[in-house]
Every structure is written in C-alpha cells, then in structure tokens.
Amino acid sequence: MDASDILVVLIGLALVLIGVFQILRRYVFLKSHCKARVAGKTLDVERTERQRDVDSYKRVSYYVNYHYFVDGVEYARRRMISKRQLKAIGKHDDFTVFYDPLKPKRHYVLEIRFRILFTLLLIALGAVLLYYSFI
C-alpha cells in the first residue's frame, strides 16, 4: 500500500465516520435529549451568491436567522437551508423549537430538516472508496 492508497482509505473512513456521527447525533442524541419545546421566530432570510470566476456559474445559498427564548434568555441561530426549505419557512414566521432543558442552546427545528440524503451519499462514497482501496 503506497501513500495514495493510504490517503484514499483515510478519506473514505473519514466520510463514513462523519456521516454516521451526524445521523447518530441527530436521531439518537438530539431527539432523546430535546424534549421541551418553545416557539421560535424567523428574524430574516439571507440569499448569497458566489461566483469563482467569470466563466463559472453562480452558486446561490440561503440562510435563515431565527431566535427563541427559554426562561427569558434569547438564543439566536443562523442556519443554511435549501431552496425548498426556504419556501416552507417563508410561509410561516413562527415554528416549534425542541430544546434540551439542561442546556437550552442544544436544540433542533423540525421545519429545518436535516439533510439525510446528502449524509447517506457521503457514507456511500466513503464506503466505495474503502471497498475499492482494498480490492
């Protein structure tokens, strides 16, 4: 095994571990700890465009800024969202935030969905890299 094979194995392993960690964090840890709920409010939605050079296409990203209050303390957050989530959030200014009563900063919002398909694709890519590096 030369240096390039080791690099491919490390990248594949990192992709698989990061993907599995994200799924476990979202579906096991957050859902089991974040039992309390409170109303959240959208502050604003940002749209950013980036273009690397004149010949490349513009990359558009959307961000939502929101906040929620727990025991009189304000918690604000900025999250990247997809265009589809932007349309869903645009219809509602208020949404439900599930938070951990022991650590209110730890939370999740059902309306801002976790990108499970993207995470599964990362895991699959990592598995393919690992598989082909050991053949």
Task: Yes or no: say if 41 and 94 are a contact pair by the CB < 8 Å rule.
Answer: yes
Q: Give SS3 for 59.
A: strand
* Tens of pLDDT, residues 77-102: 998 887 877 777 766 678 888 999 99
CA 104, distance to chain mean position in Å, is 19
Which pTM value belongs to this model? 0.65
Q: Report the pLDDT value the prediction gives residue 38, as an integer from 0 to 100.
A: 94
| Residue 135 to residue 126: CA distance in whole angstroms | 15
The answer to whether residue 133 scores a pLDDT higher than 80 is no
Q: Report the pLDDT value the prediction gives residue 91, as an integer from 0 to 100.
A: 65
Q: Report the pLDDT value the prediction gives residue 103, as an integer from 0 to 100.
A: 92
| Residue 7 to residue 2: CA distance in whole angstroms | 9
* Tens of pLDDT, residues 24-70: 777 777 778 888 999 999 888 888 888 777 777 788 888 889 999 99
Which helix (H) or strand (E) element contains residue 79? strand 73-81
Bigger pLDDT: 111 vs 65: 65
Q: Report the pLDDT value the prediction gives residue 100, as an integer from 0 to 100.
A: 92
The answer to whether residue 121 scores a pLDDT higher than 90 is no
| Residue 97 to residue 70: CA distance in whole angstroms | 10
Q: Report the pLDDT value the prediction gives residue 34, as an integer from 0 to 100.
A: 87
| Residue 51 to residue 117: CA distance in whole angstroms | 26
Bigger pLDDT: 107 vs 53: 107
